[in-house]
Amino acid sequence: MAIDIHWIRDDDSLGQFCAQWQQLPFVALDTEFMRVDTFYPIAGLIQIGDGERAYLIDPLTITHWQPLADLLENPAVVKVVHACSEDLEVLLRLTGSLPVPLFDTQLAAAYLNLGFSMGYSRLVSEVLGIDLPKGETRSDWLQRPLSDTQISYAAEDALHLAEVFVRLRPKLSDEKYAWVLEDGAELVANLRREVDPYEVYRDAKLAWKLSRAQLAVLRELCAWREREARARDLPRNRIVREHSLWPLARTQPDNLAALGKIEDMHPRTVRQDGTFLLDLIKQAASLPPEQWPPAVPEPLPIEAAALVKRLRALGQAEAERLNVAPELMLRKKTLEALLKSGYPEGPYQLPDSLRGWRRELMGQALLDSLATAGEQP
């Protein structure tokens, strides 16, 4: 089947087509990008599908993105995407805006119990009976001209994504459709919540094993690494490797030779930033106790696994009742955060990560289950 492809390579054309798309009930949206040696993704192509044609927007020749930003922010036009976390980063970087409302076909498939975390090719095969060609996902999207196979691959994505939406939407009850949009809004909200560099240390590997004085050093190291990765537009591991952070905070080297012996420490880091890192560690280590961060909670003990299993079973039962993929219900991190709030004796508090319809449907049941856990024979 020949695809009707329209290229958009200048600002005027983008403005004209965005004005047309503003009148549609939905547009399908996809991006191709490169992210090999950079912190931020570099847009190589933006694809729009309206259900009939595929539009390929060349970000290397467009300079004025406001019309696309306006389309993304128009609440009357549903933006259809698939597994979109990195696409959202591309769009935010390019236009300064994020799509609302957002309909993720991967989430919709899970709400229809077709499968959880389905890849795009599998979903298209399942819903449309079409086998998509593979092999272009890793190609160079910044090269010009793009190859015929790249163009065909990108156009098919946009065209079929619109078709998948048209097939899936009527199968979703109004309630489930609202949940798909709610989860889409959560994805957007998460990206809008820019990570505070001074909070990054909490997620560092083995942070719970450090004293509060050592955590003060880890906090400064993680914050500096995060800021520098953004400022230099480099992957975090090109600044300081992940596995070096904990031994740096624990041993606190005070000379370049000791720094170079830190586990997984790259010689380039020692050359470029070694002296600065030594000063940073020294300053952080001299902070008074009142400026130390609170201790990071230990992981849950092995015995808590039975409680996690008990709570997960609640979610699975609810998933069965709703006929949705069970993985949609309760994330492991959410259950662990709930248990950490009061383990082992309670009382427990629902974590902030349990939001929206999940909190309404299951919040009290989770608390009730924990309250009676100790009474089980």
Q: Are 214 and 249 in contact (CB under 8 A)?
A: yes
User: Is 297 domain-assigned?
Assistant: no
In the residue annotation, 32 being an active-site residue is answered as yes
Ramachandran region, residue 115 (left: φ > 0; alpha: ψ -120 to 50; beta: rest) = left
- 126 and 211 in a single domain? The answer is no
User: Is 223 domain-assigned?
Assistant: yes
Question: Which tens digit of pLDDT belongs to each residue from 312-321?
Answer: 999 999 999 9
- 27 and 160 in a single domain? The answer is yes
Active-site residue, selected from the candidate residues 55, 111, 120, 153: 153
Sequence-distant (≥ 6) Cβ neighbours of residue 12 within 8 angstroms: none
Sheet holding 102-104, edge to edge: 5-8, 54-57, 42-49, 26-34, 78-81, 102-104
pLDDT at 301 over 80: yes
- 57 and 18 in a single domain? The answer is yes
- 316 and 369 in a single domain? The answer is yes
CATH of residue 226's domain is 1.10.150.80
Distance from C-alpha of 192 to C-alpha of 86, rounded to nearest angstrom? 13
CATH of residue 187's domain is 3.30.420.10
Active-site residue, selected from the candidate residues 136, 157, 183, 226: 157
Question: Which tens digit of pLDDT belongs to each residue from 96-107?
Answer: 999 999 999 999
User: Is 87 domain-assigned?
Assistant: yes
Question: Which tens digit of pLDDT belongs to each residue from 53-80?
Answer: 999 999 999 999 999 999 999 999 999 9
- 56 and 23 in a single domain? The answer is yes
The total of structural domains in the chain comes to: 3
- 186 and 201 in a single domain? The answer is no
At residue 144's C-alpha, the angle toward residues 140 and 150, to 5°, is 55
Which pTM was predicted?
A: 0.91
Return the pLDDT at 245: 97
Active-site residue, selected from the candidate residues 50, 55, 87, 136: 87
- 266 and 365 in a single domain? The answer is no
Residue that is last in its domain, among 291, 325, 347: 291
- 283 and 371 in a single domain? The answer is no
- 56 and 128 in a single domain? The answer is yes
Residue that is last in its domain, among 125, 158, 192: 192
pLDDT at 135 over 90: no
Question: Which tens digit of pLDDT belongs to each residue from 4-61?
Answer: 899 999 999 999 999 999 999 999 999 999 999 999 999 999 999 998 999 999 999 9
- 229 and 361 in a single domain? The answer is no
In the residue annotation, 12 being an active-site residue is answered as no
- 104 and 244 in a single domain? The answer is no
Q: How many residues are there in the chain?
A: 377
pLDDT at 181 over 60: yes
User: Is 296 domain-assigned?
Assistant: no
Return the pLDDT at 377: 39
Return the pLDDT at 136: 64
- 18 and 100 in a single domain? The answer is yes
User: Is 159 domain-assigned?
Assistant: yes
Residue that is last in its domain, among 192, 218, 244: 192
User: Is 170 domain-assigned?
Assistant: yes
User: Is 354 domain-assigned?
Assistant: yes
Beta pairing class for 5-8 and 54-57: parallel
Question: Domain of 149?
Answer: 5-192
Average pLDDT, integer, range 175-192: 95
